[in-house]
Amino acid sequence: MTDEAIAITGIRKRYGDIIAVDDLSLAVKTGELFGLIGPDGAGKTTIMQIICGLLSSYDGDCRVFGYDCRRELRKIREIIGYMPQRFSLYPDLTVSENLRFFADLFRVSPDDRLKRTERLLAFNRLAAFKKRRAGDLSGGMKQKLALSCTLIHTPGLLILDEPTTGVDPVSRREFWEILYELRSEGVTILVSTPYMDEAQRCDRIAFVHRGKVMAIDRPEQIITHFDKTLYALTSHDLYNAFLSMQGMGAVESLQLFGDRLHFTTPSFDHVKQELDQRGVAYTEILEIEPTIEDVFIQMMQRSLSSG
């Protein structure tokens, strides 16, 4: 087996005038938990659809464990488990019946189906709910059932498109524990997420914007891509501080981050002067380490200002 689970070379996909994926190359190693991060419309779903063999008209080459995603579809479907953003569970079927439906769809033999269903129900902690209609499950449980249906044919590569969006924090954590277990069993996982704490949990992440990869690295390394000094300002009147700083010539970039403002400047002294002149109340200003989100915002702003 090749060392690369996914090898994408020079992919370009257009929808009329829209370039959804723009000369993108990316490699995911076997056994890796790899995150695709990017704003809405960045091209993440399109990339996943190409990998899963759901799109065929594009330029470039895409391979999964060496198999061509355009030409070797039967093999690709065997190897991949794909959980799209809106996974279609059957709300009137029970948990067990949904699993059975997907097992039949993937032609899993009855013996294997029974063994795998039992294991998946235990694994995803859904055994107690196996007779409950899927439509009556909580959001987190629905996602765990969708994941189980995706796993029924024991794929070696799991493609998950924003699987935890809208799911409560506890269920999100449980979902990620399941992903870690799968990875420890050797399953390669490509997951897209809008959550920065989830980006932090991946082995490597790629930041995608306007169909291009802006950076690929380990989460702890990606912050080295931030090439400015970053400051954090705290204030009891954060909103007014934000409005005042928006108009300051000495402030280069400014973001509201929870209970503080993150900003960069070519001249810290100038910012302090302007804050004093405008009478902006603040508690303190500290030089801080950037977060993954700071890096992504910086890259996105640069990409937007370069046209």
Judged by CB, which is closer to ligand ATP: 206, or 245? 206
Residue 235 three-state SS: coil
Q: CA triplet 104, 150, 219: central angle to 5 degrees?
A: 170
Least Cβ distance, residue 212 to ligand ATP (angstroms): 12
Least Cβ distance, residue 244 to ligand ATP (angstroms): 33
Considering only 15-23, 173-181, 183-191, 281-289, which stretch makes contact with ligand ATP by CB under 6 A? 15-23
Site residues for ligand ATP, window 44-103 (CB under 6 A)? Answer: 44-46
Which of 7, 26, 43, 63 binds ligand ATP (CB under 6 A)? It is 43
- Residue 38 interacting with ligand ATP (CB under 6 A): yes
Interatomic CA distance for residues 302 and 307, integer angstroms: 9
Least Cβ distance, residue 43 to ligand ATP (angstroms): 4
Fill in the amino acid letter for 49: Q
Least Cβ distance, residue 8 to ligand ATP (angstroms): 14
Site size with ligand ATP, rule: CB under 6 A:
11
Pairing of strands 4-15, 253-257: unpaired
Which of 17, 40, 111, 259 binds ligand ATP (CB under 6 A)? It is 40
Q: Which of 270, 259, 201 is nearest to 235 (CA)?
A: 259
Least Cβ distance, residue 183 to ligand ATP (angstroms): 23
Least Cβ distance, residue 305 to ligand ATP (angstroms): 19
Give the bridge partners for 234, in sequence order: 284
Phi then psi dihedrals of residue 50, to 5 deg: -65, -45
Which of 10, 18, 278, 283 binds ligand ATP (CB under 6 A)? It is 18
Helices (H), the chain: 44-51, 73-79, 95-105, 110-123, 139-151, 169-184, 196-200, 219-222, 238-246, 268-277, 292-305
Pairing of strands 80-83, 157-161: parallel
- Residue 159 interacting with ligand ATP (CB under 6 A): no
Interatomic CA distance for residues 36 and 162, integer angstroms: 9
Least Cβ distance, residue 207 to ligand ATP (angstroms): 11
- Residue 41 interacting with ligand ATP (CB under 6 A): yes
Least Cβ distance, residue 103 to ligand ATP (angstroms): 28
Q: How many CB atoms lie within 10 A of CB 271?
A: 23
Interatomic CA distance for residues 268 and 273, integer angstroms: 9
Judged by CB, which is closer to ligand ATP: 20, or 137? 20
- Residue 299 interacting with ligand ATP (CB under 6 A): no
- Residue 209 interacting with ligand ATP (CB under 6 A): no
Least Cβ distance, residue 69 to ligand ATP (angstroms): 16
Interatomic CA distance for residues 144 and 25, integer angstroms: 31
Interatomic CA distance for residues 41 and 49, integer angstroms: 14
Judged by CB, which is closer to ligand ATP: 158, or 230? 158
Judged by CB, which is closer to ligand ATP: 211, or 290? 211
Considering only 38-46, 62-70, 89-97, 245-253, which stretch makes contact with ligand ATP by CB under 6 A? 38-46
Token pair recorded at residue 229: 């000094």
Interatomic CA distance for residues 152 and 104, integer angstroms: 10
Interatomic CA distance for residues 121 and 126, integer angstroms: 5
Q: Which residues bind ligand ATP (CB under 6 A)?
A: 15, 18, 20, 38, 40-46
